[in-house]
């Protein structure tokens, strides 16, 4: 029994040794078949190609960034341009240039080392379609935001109306994905660019201000007119840097429901219209009241 176990053990050890020898011989044959001269030439050739590719990439990168930066500085020197918009456009163009350059660099690198780029691009194309469908809204935000910035549709500090969203307020930030608008009640709206369809910018010119002060037509209208004209002259001198045209006394207007008012019209610097209207109206009421005139308080429209 002991002799049989010994024979079995020796046979197993011999088989393992023979198998190991076969594997070693196969590796030796493989190693000996390698054409080291040709392999060295290929490595040297591809290394030179990669070094040349890297030099060309760095050269294009430096030249492209220099051209973009020069265009950005030239753009900033132009008058009446928003620095925040210029910085945003500069960042977008610079990133787009870098990503495009990286794509071609990776493509050329893989081609040099022998990777089948065509097959990879086919697979990436299918994946890109799937990702694109999921990120469609995000891409719409970016494209719309780019044209908002490029076409100067709004700037930080502009007072705008977004009719389709029923939002009105001051622009706090204009980004490539969202726009921030602060309403007069303090609410800050974060609006995706794709939801913006119509922008009414109220900050691109002098704003019209209409001031109506109600009077009693049975009292001396002519004296009221004289008082308001004198007030207009005094206030115009005080706010001459804000008031661009006027103030012009339009005359008596009918507000409806037997209510009449003396109307003054002027054009003021954008953003100052509410202050000017409040100042003029308060001065009118104070002066007319002090002169003994009555300011009607009956409802203007019939209910």
Q: Can you spell out the DSSP letters for 236-299? A: HHHTTTTEEEEEEEEEEEEEETTEEEEEEEEEE-TT-HHHHHHHHHHHHHHHHHHTT-----S-
Which CATH entry fits the domain spanning 155-201: 2.30.30.60, 3.40.630.10, 3.40.50.1980, 2.60.40.10?
A: 2.30.30.60
Residue 138 and residue 12: Cα distance in Å, rounded? Answer: 67
Residue 52 · residue 108 · CB < 8 Å = no
Residue 53's pLDDT is: 83
Compute the mean pLDDT over every residue in the chain, rounded to the nearest whole number.
77
Taking only the tens place, the pLDDT of each residue in 218-254 is: 888 888 888 888 888 888 888 888 888 888 888 888 8
Residue 126's pLDDT is: 57
Name residue, tokens 């040794």. Answer: 17
The half-sphere exposure of 73 on its side-chain side, counting CA atoms within 13 A, is 5
Residue 36's pLDDT is: 65
**Pair of tokens at residue 276:** 């000017």
Low-confidence ranges of the chain (pLDDT < 50): 2-7, 303
> What SS3 state is found at 111?
helix
**Pair of tokens at residue 42:** 């290929």
Residue 5's pLDDT is: 45
Residue 215 · residue 249 · CB < 8 Å = no
The answer to pTM > 0.95 is: no
Taking only the tens place, the pLDDT of each residue in 133-161 is: 556 777 787 788 878 877 778 877 778 88
Residue 3's pLDDT is: 42
Residue 242's pLDDT is: 83
Residue 97's pLDDT is: 83
Residue 22's pLDDT is: 61
Residue 209 · residue 267 · CB < 8 Å = yes
Fold designation for 207-290: Alpha-Beta Plaits (3.30.70)
**Pair of tokens at residue 201:** 């910018």
Q: Which numeric CATH code is attached to 38-134? A: 1.10.287.1260
Residue 217's pLDDT is: 81
């Amino acid at each position: 029994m002991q002799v049989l176990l010994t024979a079995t053990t020796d046979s197993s050890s011999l088989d393992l040794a023979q198998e190991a020898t076969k594997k070693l011989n196969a590796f030796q044959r493989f190693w000996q078949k390698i054409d080291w001269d040709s392999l060295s030439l290929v490595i040297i050739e591809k290394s030179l190609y990669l070094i040349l590719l890297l030099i060309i990439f760095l050269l294009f990168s430096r030249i492209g960034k220099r051209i973009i930066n020069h265009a950005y500085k030239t753009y900033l020197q132009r008058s009446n341009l928003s620095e925040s918009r210029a910085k945003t456009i500069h960042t977008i163009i610079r990133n787009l240039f870098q990503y495009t350059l990286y794509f071609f660099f990776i493509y050329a690198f893989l081609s040099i080392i022998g990777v089948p780029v065509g097959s990879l691009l086919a697979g990436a194309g299918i994946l890109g379609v799937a990702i694109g469908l999921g990120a469609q809204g995000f891409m719409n935000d970016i494209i719309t935001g780019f044209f908002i910035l490029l076409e100067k549709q709004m700037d930080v500090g502009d007072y705008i109306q977004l009719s389709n969203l029923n939002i009105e307020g001051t622009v706090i930030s204009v980004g490539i994905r969202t726009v921030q608008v602060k309403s007069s009640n303090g609410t800050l709206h974060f609006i995706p660019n794709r939801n913006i369809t119509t922008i009414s910018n109220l900050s691109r010119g002098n704003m019209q201000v209409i001031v109506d002060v109600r009077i009693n037509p049975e009292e001396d209208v002519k004296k009221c007119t004289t008082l308001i004209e004198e007030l207009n002259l005094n206030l115009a001198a005080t706010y001459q840097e804000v008031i661009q045209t006027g103030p012009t006394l339009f005359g008596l207007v009918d507000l409806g429901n037997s209510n009449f008012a003396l109307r003054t019209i002027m054009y003021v610097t954008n953003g100052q219209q509410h202050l000017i209207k409040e100042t003029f109206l308060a001065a009118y009421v104070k002066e007319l009241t002090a002169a003994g005139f009555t300011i009607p308080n009956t409802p203007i429209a019939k209910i």
